[in-house]
Structure 1
Amino acid sequence: MTPITFPRHQTLGLAIALFSPLVLVVVGCGGQPTTEPGLATRRVVPYVALDREFSEPILEAIGQREGLEIQAKYDVESTKTVGLTNAIILEADNPRCDLFWNNEIVNTLRLKKRGLLAVYRPKGAEAIPDAFKDPEGTWHGFAARARVLIVNTDLVPEDQRPDSIESLADPAWKGRIGLAKPLFGTTASHAACLFVVWGDAKAKDYFRRLKANQVQILAGNKTVARAVADGQLAFGLTDTDDAIIEQRDGKPVAIVYPDRRPDQLGTLFIPNTIAILKNAPHPEAARALADALLTAEVEARLAAGPSAQIPVIAGVAGPQGIETPATVHPMTVEFSQAADAFDRAAAFLETEFLAP
């Protein structure tokens, strides 16, 4: 698999963890599920890592339109992505999940490496750039976000604003910066990417310097964004969807795309991914749901909505107030290598940040 890079045009929007309780909710049932003998049910069970407030309305609309009884299982903020990934691994011999809507890519690739994903090419797959889909057809990407610094403008003068993830290790801000728990969600994926791009030694040194700088470890990216917006922290590392909400709410915050210059590391852009599970209990309904999700219509809705996701399908208008790789130098990383690095990065970070 080649590194994910992004064409430069304005419409391109691009752990080791314990199994935790997950939330099951029926989010749509437009039309009655088929119950006659010999006919396939229209019930489908997606596991969804994208925040429920953003994903549930889309699933409800699809369920009503397509006649699908969608029973979605969501993870919680504190175990983003990894909780659902571990659930899928634990259920491998008796799958309950039909389709995994992941809000990042590294853990999707971990499932592929375990042989847990089915091959399927959705109807709209041709419109998705090659960089955002598996040549073997086990996953497809869409609706990206960037890893950014959210800065409290009341606490950080404009001429002192950070411009790099290295700023989190700056002693001038000791104890006043924040990071989501680095074992889960996009923060864990970001860490794994750094282990690949920098190498293990440099990545470990970086996280040790963050610890020495008394970085505040919070429950999730949303918590980091709110802590900065409320003035509890000067700045922190989060995702564009969580940062833009605080900015649009009128909070005194600025969004900084770290390491954005060509001579720097680059800003990490991470797509959502859709994958159907091998031996899914409801494969036909899962394929119908994948077809409905991987469309320009859904990307446009996610871009225009509060999460301001960055489209990858050409021709879909990007979100207002969010920069894309058309204007920001993106980090180049081989995500399949990041999936290989995930467990060793998580083992190190668990020891550094969670061990008593």
Structure 2
Amino acid sequence: MKKSLLTASILTLSLVLAACGGGNANEEQDTNNASAEQPAAQQPAEQPAAEQPAKNEKLIVYTNANSDGRGDWLVEKAKAAGFEIEIVGAGGADLTNRLIAEKNNPVADVVFGLNNMLYENLKKENVLIQYVPAWAADVEAGLNDPEGYYHGLVKQAILLGYNPDIISADKAPKDWLDLGNNPEFQGKYEAPTMLGQITPQLVVAGILTRYQDANGEYGIAQAGWDEIKKLYDNGVGAVEGEDTYANIASGKTPIGTIVSGTLKKKTEQYGVAAGTVSPEVGVPMIVEHAGIVNGTKKIDTAQRFVEWMGTAEVQGEFAAQFNAMPANTKAAEQANEEVKALYASLKAQAFDWGFISDNVGSWVEKIELEIMK
């Protein structure tokens, strides 16, 4: 009897324990199943990459075109467009040397404002990447780098100007070559002696490249060097610290070099509206360009910024604000009327920028050592 009762009790206890154990196993399984079967919509999901807003990292922008409020203007406009940029400004040659020195560990992400000669140096040193923004197709033909490393933003014409109160239009020179060949102009013009600067270098290049000769000294025939010698012999050397336009206005040297972008400001400053010369061969044209630095770790942001900066909208606003002439033909419509009228009378002199970049250092050295005595 006792054995029967004990056996029955053990059996009952076993059933209870089994029931409890089975219940826990089923509950755990149900919980796992519920977790596995939970719809994906109820779990936090990452937004698809294509729909995420573009992340604009802070850009370091090197330029020689930030004076007269232009840099501040660009910073504010860029900020409104969603970009944070830090402008590092310096002279064109200094920036070029700095970019080359930093090419193995670049600091800058974007560079703009430099001219063709300096960009050619950067290309040779592998400082730039090839990138063609959408707006490049709207830039005036012949101004972009054909290999796609840099693209035009702003045009600056290098002009031969004169004081119309002293020299009438019919007696004014018609070409740079007239200066050294006409005795009437002796001592009346400022010769381009400050050859450490880009503008005088381009005046010289505008003469020398007309006499390009593979067998000549530094690629130039003797006739070209003869013209350069006459240019310096018949003129007056520039004086460091003196304003060329001030000397034109005062009559000290009523003929001299003028950069188109300064015409309005200088006219207002000195009260003389200089006449300008349009040679048949054309005028040297400085074009400020934009490029992306090779090795930037912010390539996507740099590309978006360049795409934005060169648009007709941005360049048109810049032109109206700073009396500039955009390289972008659509933006040119927004340029001030006097600027459009000036450029309608000009054509750009055809330059082989690679040839000039390769030889201009030797030209300057020869002129300084052998011709400017």
TM-score range, shorter chain: 0.7 to 0.9
Match of 1:156 among 153, 167, 175: 167
Matched, 1:229 2:229: no
Q: Which residue of 1 aligns with 2:21?
A: none
Any idea what SS the aligned residue of 1:208 has? helix
Q: Which residue of 2 aligns with 1:48?
A: 63
Flag the structure with more relative contact order, 1 or 2, with Cα contacts below 8 A and sequence separation at least 6.
1
Any idea what SS the aligned residue of 1:131 has? coil
Supply the distance in 2 between the matched residues of 1:190 and 1:85 (Cα, whole angstroms): 21
User: Which structure has greater helix proportion?
Assistant: 2
Greater Cα offset, 312-321 or 293-302: 312-321
Match of 2:86 among 59, 64, 71: 71
Q: Which residue of 2 aligns with 1:87?
A: 98
Match of 2:236 among 215, 233, 244: 215
Return the index of the structure with the highest Cα Rg: 2
Supply the distance in 1 between the matched residues of 2:94 and 2:251 (Cα, whole angstroms): 30
Q: How does 1:167-246 map to 2 (within 5 A)?
A: 167-169=178-180, 170-178=182-190, 179=192, 181-199=194-212, 200=220, 201-219=222-240, 223-246=243-266
Structure 1 residues 67, 315: CA separation in 2 closer, same or farther (over 3 Å shift)? closer
Task: Please list the CA deviations of residues 207-228 of structure 1 after superposition, one character each: whole Å capped at 9, or x if unmatched.
Answer: 32222124322559x9322332
Task: Please list the CA deviations of residues 49-99 of structure 1 after superposition, one character each: whole Å capped at 9, or x if unmatched.
Answer: 2251153143223332233332222224xxxx2222222223223322222
Amino acid of the structure 1 residue aligned with 2:97: N
Any idea what SS the aligned residue of 1:67 has? coil
Structure 2 residue runs without a partner (length 5+): 1-53, 213-219
Structure 1 residue runs without a partner (length 5+): 1-38
Q: Is the 8 A contact 2:154 2:288 kept in 1?
A: yes
Supply the distance in 1 between the matched residues of 2:349 and 2:125 (Cα, whole angstroms): 26
* Shift, 1:146, TM fit: 1.4
Q: Which residue of 2 aligns with 1:60?
A: 75
Match of 1:286 among 295, 299, 302: 302
Matched, 1:140 2:151: yes
Matched, 1:319 2:332: no
Any idea what SS the aligned residue of 1:125 has? helix
Structure 1 residues 191, 298: CA separation in 2 closer, same or farther (over 3 Å shift)? farther
Any idea what SS the aligned residue of 1:272 has? strand
* Shift, 1:167, TM fit: 3.5
Q: Which residue of 1 aligns with 2:14?
A: none
* Shift, 1:266, TM fit: 1.9
Q: Is the 8 A contact 2:152 2:327 kept in 1?
A: no
Root-mean-square deviation (Å): 3.0
Supply the distance in 2 between the matched residues of 1:172 and 1:186 (Cα, whole angstroms): 25
Normalising by structure 2, we get a TM-score of 0.72
* Shift, 1:137, TM fit: 2.1
Q: Is the 8 A contact 2:285 2:348 kept in 1?
A: yes
Q: Which residue of 1 aligns with 2:131?
A: 120
* Shift, 1:353, TM fit: 7.2
Amino acid of the structure 2 residue aligned with 1:53: D
Greater Cα offset, 97-106 or 322-331: 322-331
Q: Which residue of 2 aligns with 1:332?
A: 350
Any idea what SS the aligned residue of 1:142 has? strand
Q: Which residue of 2 aligns with 1:20?
A: none
Supply the distance in 2 between the matched residues of 1:54 and 1:300 (Cα, whole angstroms): 16
Amino acid of the structure 2 residue aligned with 1:58: W
Q: Which residue of 2 aligns with 1:277?
A: 293
Amino acid of the structure 2 residue aligned with 1:316: A
Q: Is the 8 A contact 1:155 1:231 kept in 2?
A: yes
* Shift, 1:193, TM fit: 4.6
Match of 2:311 among 260, 276, 295: 295
**How many percent identity over aligned positions?**
20
Match of 1:97 among 69, 94, 108: 108
Supply the distance in 2 between the matched residues of 1:349 and 1:282 (Cα, whole angstroms): 43
Structure 1 residues 350, 145: CA separation in 2 closer, same or farther (over 3 Å shift)? same
Structure 1 residues 274, 145: CA separation in 2 closer, same or farther (over 3 Å shift)? same
Aligned length: 308
Supply the distance in 2 between the matched residues of 1:281 and 1:219 (Cα, whole angstroms): 41
Q: Which residue of 2 aligns with 1:342?
A: 360
Any idea what SS the aligned residue of 1:124 has? helix
Structure 1 residues 66, 229: CA separation in 2 closer, same or farther (over 3 Å shift)? same
Any idea what SS the aligned residue of 1:300 has? helix
